[in-house]
Amino acid sequence: MNGNNAEQTVRNAAGFQQPLVLTVGQDIRGFLFKHLGRLALFALTVTSVLAVFLIFLFVILEAFPFLGKFSIVEFLTGTAWYPEAHGTPEFGVLALIVGSVYVTAAALVFSVPIGVLSAIFLSEIVSFRIRNIVKPIIEILAAIPSVAYGFFAVLVLAPWLQKYLGFTSGTNALNASLLLSIMALPTIISVAEDSLSATGRELREASYGLGATRFETTFKVVIPAAHSGIIAAIVLGMMRAIGETMVVWMASGNASQIPHPWWNLSQSVRTMTATIAGEMGETVKGSDHYRALFAIGLLLLLMTLLLNLVSEYFLTRAKKSLGKS
């Protein structure tokens, strides 16, 4: 009697009016709720998979009639891009591919040394406090929209190049690749710095213990240990540069030609992205030209997918090798 009363009091205080035992119905409801809910969440999560799938599907669907109509070999090896020519339009994207690769490579020539050196500075040399000052600067560089970089390239840098380097046109491969290198830098620095910082302390200490200087430790111990991560950083920077549209469209001069001689950066080039951006607005939906642009988009998509796989491979390898050490 007394015990029963006490139990009742406790139940009332805790707000439970019924015993803490689930009925069969409640149990089944709870089970269904949990698993159906989980299924619903899963369905929403698969959106990103669906998005990737749809992107491929729709770009391929729009490009497919073109690839059926024209020879893929001619498309990839032709250097003449005259999509609106009367009679026989020519769709050769080699010059555009070369243009994309050209500005990207030039950008990497500038950004890789600076990026890797900056990453070394941040992870090996300075204290946490200075790193916290420098990091926001890199974040700002990453946050500035590409159209603002393009704006700078056209209205500030191009006149400077004309004035001080004597180029006939300020919008050329040099201008575009300088800006691309600045845009690729934040990616390169942050990924490379992560992988440098992740190398074990004991590796460095062993090296210093043997009497090596910081330079020797960095180049003979830390960088070899972190090389996978640094390669991944460079590949990610390359992805950023090759997929960039606004800067190259505004700054590269947009002349569809293979640079000759190859080292002369003051020539105009035209990239795949700039071609899509510049011509898509003027095409008729469903025309050969329209489909050819989608074919270029598909090519671009495949290239970045490949680079993405390469970077994933190196990132996983970096994780594994660092996990071991």
Partner 1 sequence: MKSRYRTIFDKIFTVTTGLAVLLLVVVLFVILGPMLLRGFSAVLFKGTVEFRKMQLAEFGHGDPEQVRVESERADAVRANVYELIDNFKSGVDIEQLTDRAKEIYRNYGNELRLRELPREQYTALRSLSREIRNRLTDAFSSNSIEQIREHIEYVLQFEDDERFVNTTASGFFQLARQYQKAAAATDLDKRQEYAVELAELEDIITELLGPSPTEDSPALAQFRYGATRWDQAQKLLHRLRWKERWVEPSGKGNLNAESGVSLVRQEFSRKEQFDGTELEPLFGYIEENIDRMLEPKTTFYWRYFLDDSTPGHYFGGIGPEILGTLLLTLLSMIFVVPFGVISAAYLTECTKEGPIIRIIRMCVNTLAGVPSIVFGLFGVAFFVIFLIPLFGGPSQPCILAGSMTLAVLTLPVMIRSSEEAIRTVPRTYKEASLALGASGFRTFMTVTLPAALPGILTGVILSLSRVAGETAPILFTAGITVGPVPDSIFQKTRTLSYGSWDMAVGDKLSAQVPHNQFGMVVALILLILILNALAVFMRSRVFKRLKGQ
Q: Does 313 bind partner 1 (CB under 8 A)?
A: no
Instruction: Point out which span in 2-10, 53-61, 74-82, 201-209 binds partner 1 (CB under 8 A).
Output: 53-61
Q: Does 83 bind partner 1 (CB under 8 A)?
A: no
Site for partner 1 in 273-312 (CB under 8 A): 273, 276-277, 280-281, 285, 293-294, 297, 300-301, 304-305, 307-308, 312
Q: Does 113 bind partner 1 (CB under 8 A)?
A: yes
Q: Does 61 bind partner 1 (CB under 8 A)?
A: yes
Q: Does 218 bind partner 1 (CB under 8 A)?
A: yes
Q: Which two tokens stand for residue 235?
A: 């590949």
Can you name the residues that pair with 90 across neighbouring β-strands? 82
* C-beta of 70 vs 152, nearer to partner 1: 152
Q: For 228-262, give one letter per residue: b (16+ CB within 10 A) or e.
A: bbbbbbbbbbbbbbbbbbbbbbbbbbbbbeebeee
Please name which of 239, 255, 101 lies closest in space to residue 177, comparing C-alpha atoms.
101
At 90 the three-state DSSP class reads: strand
Contact 238, 100 (CB under 8 A): no
Can you name the residues that pair with 91 across neighbouring β-strands? 81
Among 11, 214, 289, 317, binds partner 1 (CB under 8 A): 214
* C-beta of 51 vs 262, nearer to partner 1: 51
- Smallest gap from residue 87 Cβ to partner 1 (A): 27
- Smallest gap from residue 100 Cβ to partner 1 (A): 10
Q: Does 128 bind partner 1 (CB under 8 A)?
A: no
Among 92, 99, 150, 237, binds partner 1 (CB under 8 A): 150
Place of tokens 């929403």: 44
Position 290: which residue type?
Y
- 157: Cβ–Cβ under 8 A, 6 or more apart, which residues? 170, 175, 178, 179, 251
- Smallest gap from residue 324 Cβ to partner 1 (A): 19
Q: Does 55 bind partner 1 (CB under 8 A)?
A: yes
Euclidean distance between CA atoms 179 and 189, whole angstroms: 16
Contact 196, 124 (CB under 8 A): yes
* C-beta of 20 vs 73, nearer to partner 1: 20
Among 231, 246, 265, 269, binds partner 1 (CB under 8 A): 246
Please name which of 197, 193, 194, 222 lies closest in space to residue 117, comparing C-alpha atoms.
193
Q: How many amino acids of this chain bind partner 1 (CB under 8 A)?
A: 80
* C-beta of 6 vs 144, nearer to partner 1: 144
Instruction: Point out which span in 79-87, 140-148, 190-198, 200-208 binds partner 1 (CB under 8 A).
Output: 140-148
Q: Does 16 bind partner 1 (CB under 8 A)?
A: no
Among 32, 36, 85, 137, binds partner 1 (CB under 8 A): 137
Can you name the residues that pair with 81 across neighbouring β-strands? 91
Q: Does 213 bind partner 1 (CB under 8 A)?
A: yes
Please name which of 164, 180, 160, 166 lies closest in space to residue 269, comparing C-alpha atoms.
180
Q: Which two tokens stand for residue 3?
A: 């015990």
Q: Does 193 bind partner 1 (CB under 8 A)?
A: no
